[in-house]
Amino acid sequence: MTNPQKAETKQFEAEVSQLLQLMINNLYGNKEVFLRELISNASDACDRLRFAALEDEDLYEDDPDLEIYVDWDADAGTLTVKDNGIGMSRSDVSENIGTIAKSGTQEFMQALEEKDEIDSQVIGQFGVGFYSAFIVSERVELETRRAGEPAERGVRWSSDGRGEYTIETIEREERGTTITLHLREEEQEILDYATLKGIVEKYSDHVSFPIKMPAQDEDEEGWETVNRASALWMRRSSDISDEEYTEFYKHISRDFNDPLEWTHAHIEGRLKFSMLFYIPSERPFDMAAGVDSEHRGVKLYVRRVFIMDDAEMFLPRYLRFVRGVVDSDDLDLNVSRESLQENRVVSAMKKTATNRVLDMLEEMAEDPETYQTFWNQFGNLLKEGAVEDHARRERLSGLLRFATTHTDQPDQTVSLDDYIERMGEEQEKIYYVTADSFASAKSSPHLEIFRDKDIEVLLMYDRIDEWLANHLAEYQDHELQSVAVGDLDIDDVGDEQDDPDRDEADEDHADLIAALQASLGQRVEQVRTTRRLRDSPACLVAQEGGMSKHFERMLRDAGQQVPDRKPILEVNPDHPIIERLGEKVEEGEDVGEWADVLFDQAWLSEGGQLDDPGTFVQRMNKLMIRLLGESDSDIITEV
Ligand code: ADP
Ligand code: MG
């Protein structure tokens, strides 16, 4: 066993070194933010000590005034940030400094490697706090002692940020953490009062603990407080500048990018609380990497005392992209996470908070460009909301956006209200098509008649869309109807067309239908002529009340049992292939091979995968050989 007291030299985890380099390169243009990050950590450490001391007053060690100090030594080229917050034990230091414990980091780094160009927005929203010190430093030293631990349990950590660090146990009287940056020669020009004070004021004024610097005033001895040192969320919004809101966001969210929008309110009445919520401009990297992190970015304060991070109980799950603070006057200081789950005050706060966020989104939606930015990042979560939140379904539905057959790009979207406003007089239903991608939704054969009649159809191609459409069922009294399910009743809708009468057409093609039916046998419920197609020979339709093939496939992929309902094959009697097949049947020829090809083709154009692609290809080849085998003149006279 190694002596735990001994100094050790360790390697950063591989991704830390990598990320560090990326950070330094990307943030250099804005390098003074390192100070914001160190002060932000100091402020968190003070918050955490105050919280821990609720249970154990002794942790204050007769030093209850929590403060942050910024000091420098121009001759030595050093800058020091010191706090008397919670501090760290040796294992805390190894765990927190030198590793990146955030879920999804690995995935994130991989995603970055696959990209040629690294977008500084992506890096920015990753925010690696402490490490930003290396943007300006050739060496960083950290000394700390955890509150409540004896002086001989101090820790010193030191690194040049190039892959290794040393850690050792030291004697340290002071509680909390001192971080000393040895600035690179060319960075030492910031080491003067005015510059440092300017940086602190710009980025850290919102910090609710006093930030102190050596007093410059002749008469004043010692230290002066350079920030406002009051909780930003308790102030009136008219007194807070956009810059202050933005910097506060960066502090609580660990995001280096500006927020997209925020909402701030003080509630007084039956309940008394304040809330400040932000929408990030970029999907957090762990959400983007598909990791559904448990991180919910709301901090809970009770009467200005920090209680917990990730207070997920104040907003519904689908609003998990929201970052912010709630500060309650009604809750107990010693609440536990569990006790909050069933708490009546909390559920009343949650209701108000949720509506407040939706108010903000509705307001944002009045500016379609900003809303589109939001929608591209977080739209899927609102779809989740429309599925889950029954009570607010109508409201959430109003916030949804969809690409349609009338827009050209996936990111040109319309609301359901816009859609309804554009509907023709006779149109009652909201039509949608589902598929795996924008491209396959757009080229679905089911849309042919809708194009002809100039009826707009929503293009749904997100994984969640089928669920959404099924749960939504209707909006503003207009039923949602999949274009791939059941019989379409659109004779009177849209531009007038010479709509074929199905009964007549079925009768005219009775022999062909019977032949196809006979040879497809178990694969279909029924064969009939179509009212949907213009350019394609055939398509598959779900039975009335059934689910589209696409949805069935999704459920199967998700490991669910799906009732085996056979589709209906609809054929287009005006298509040359179907016309010729009709003739072949009349001539007494077997069309079995053709029937299978039609079916498989229709299945493929739904985005389906063939169980047996080999057989499909063989069949196609056989048919092609047969066609090629006939002399050219035969083919020409036949057509
Ligand atoms: P973040 O603040 O997002 O967690 P940082 O890189 O800024 O990431 O800090 C990493 C961790 O190091 C913090 O979560 C905290 O546990 C610890 N830490 C950093 N600075 C301090 C400090 N001054 N006092 C106590 N702990 C600290
Ligand atoms: Mg931090």
> What's 171's domain CATH number?
3.30.565.10
Classify residue 627: in a domain, yes or no: no
pLDDT at 637: 44
- The rounded Å distance from CA 423 to ligand 1 centre is 55
Using DSSP, how many helices (H) and how many strands (E) does the chain show?
Answer: 23, 22
Classify residue 632: in a domain, yes or no: no
Domain identity same for 533 and 560: yes
At 138-191, the pLDDT tens digits run 999 999 999 999 999 999 999 988 888 999 999 999 999 999 999 999 999 999
Identify the residue whose C-alpha is closest to ligand 1 atom 15: 96
Question: 112 lies in which domain range?
Answer: 8-225
Domain identity same for 215 and 97: yes
pLDDT block averages, 10 residues each, the chain of length 639: 71 74 75 91 96 94 96 97 97 80 60 60 64 91 97 95 91 97 96 95 93 85 91 95 95 88 96 97 66 71 92 93 96 89 94 97 96 94 94 96 90 94 92 90 90 93 87 91 81 66 80 90 88 87 75 75 82 90 89 89 81 87 81 46
pLDDT at 111: 65
At 316-358, the pLDDT tens digits run 999 999 999 999 999 998 888 889 988 999 999 999 999 999 9
Instruction: Among 12, 36, 41, name the best residue to mutate to test ligand 1's pocket (greatest count of ligand atoms within 8 A of Cβ).
Output: 41
Domain identity same for 438 and 347: no
* Measured CA distances, 419 to 121, 370, 458, 464, 563 (Å): 34, 20, 9, 20, 33
Classify residue 492: in a domain, yes or no: no
Q: Which residues line ligand 1 (CB under 6 A)?
A: 37, 41-42, 45, 83, 85-88, 96-97, 128-130, 177, 254
Per the CB < 8 A criterion, the answer to whether 608 and 533 are in contact is no
pLDDT at 27: 73
End-of-domain residue from the set 454, 482, 510:
482
Instruction: Among 130, 144, 309, name the best residue to mutate to test ligand 1's pocket (greatest count of ligand atoms within 8 A of Cβ).
Output: 130
Identify the residue whose C-alpha is closest to ligand 1 atom 19: 41
At 358-388, the pLDDT tens digits run 999 999 999 999 999 999 999 999 999 999 9
> What's 290's domain CATH number?
3.30.230.80
Classify residue 32: in a domain, yes or no: yes
Identify the residue whose C-alpha is closest to ligand 1 atom 21: 41
Identify the residue whose C-alpha is closest to ligand 1 atom 4: 129
Classify residue 202: in a domain, yes or no: yes
> What's 531's domain CATH number?
1.20.120.790
Neighbours of ion ligand 2 (CB under 5 A): 41, 129
pLDDT at 603: 86
Strand partners, 540: 569
Identify the residue whose C-alpha is closest to ligand 1 atom 16: 96
pLDDT at 3: 58
Classify residue 624: in a domain, yes or no: no
Task: Burial-class residue 332 by CB neighbours within 10 Å (0-12, 13-18, 19+).
Answer: middle
Domain identity same for 182 and 61: yes
Between CA 3 and CA 12 the distance in angstroms is 20
pLDDT at 183: 97
Per the CB < 8 A criterion, the answer to whether 581 and 591 are in contact is yes
- The rounded Å distance from CA 112 to ligand 1 centre is 24
- The rounded Å distance from CA 393 to ligand 1 centre is 40
Domain identity same for 158 and 262: no
- The rounded Å distance from CA 166 to ligand 2 centre is 21
* Measured CA distances, 365 to 195, 300, 424 (Å): 41, 28, 25
pLDDT at 635: 46
> What's 432's domain CATH number?
3.40.50.11260
Domain identity same for 218 and 69: yes
- The rounded Å distance from CA 218 to ligand 1 centre is 36
* Measured CA distances, 331 to 130, 235, 308, 344, 442 (Å): 33, 20, 13, 10, 52
- The rounded Å distance from CA 461 to ligand 1 centre is 41
Per the CB < 8 A criterion, the answer to whether 136 and 183 are in contact is yes
* Measured CA distances, 252 to 39, 203, 309 (Å): 12, 13, 9
Classify residue 489: in a domain, yes or no: no
Domain identity same for 61 and 159: yes
Domain identity same for 384 and 334: no
Per the CB < 8 A criterion, the answer to whether 281 and 258 are in contact is yes
pTM confidence score: 0.83
Q: Which atom of ligand 1 is nearest to the CA of 130?
A: 6
Identify the residue whose C-alpha is closest to ligand 1 atom 27: 41
End-of-domain residue from the set 225, 244, 264:
225
Identify the residue whose C-alpha is closest to ligand 1 atom 1: 129
pLDDT at 440: 87
Domain identity same for 335 and 402: no
What long-range pairs does 227-234 form, CB within 8 A, spacing at least 24?
A: 227/200, 227/201, 231/301, 231/304, 231/327, 232/206, 232/208, 232/276, 233/264, 233/274, 233/275, 233/276, 233/301, 233/325, 233/327, 234/266, 234/274, 234/304, 234/327
Domain identity same for 73 and 199: yes
Identify the residue whose C-alpha is closest to ligand 1 atom 13: 96
Domain identity same for 75 and 212: yes
Question: Which one of the ligands is nearest to 253 CA?
Answer: 1
Classify residue 190: in a domain, yes or no: yes
How many structural domains does the chain have?
4
End-of-domain residue from the set 364, 385, 414:
364
The answer for residues whose C-beta is within 8 angstroms of residue 296's C-beta and 6 or more apart is: 310, 311, 312, 315, 320
Between CA 476 and CA 423 the distance in angstroms is 13
Domain identity same for 90 and 151: yes
Q: Which atom of ligand 1 is nearest to the CA of 97?
A: 12
- The rounded Å distance from CA 197 to ligand 2 centre is 20
Q: Which atom of ligand 1 is nearest to the CA of 129?
A: 7
Identify the residue whose C-alpha is closest to ligand 1 atom 20: 41
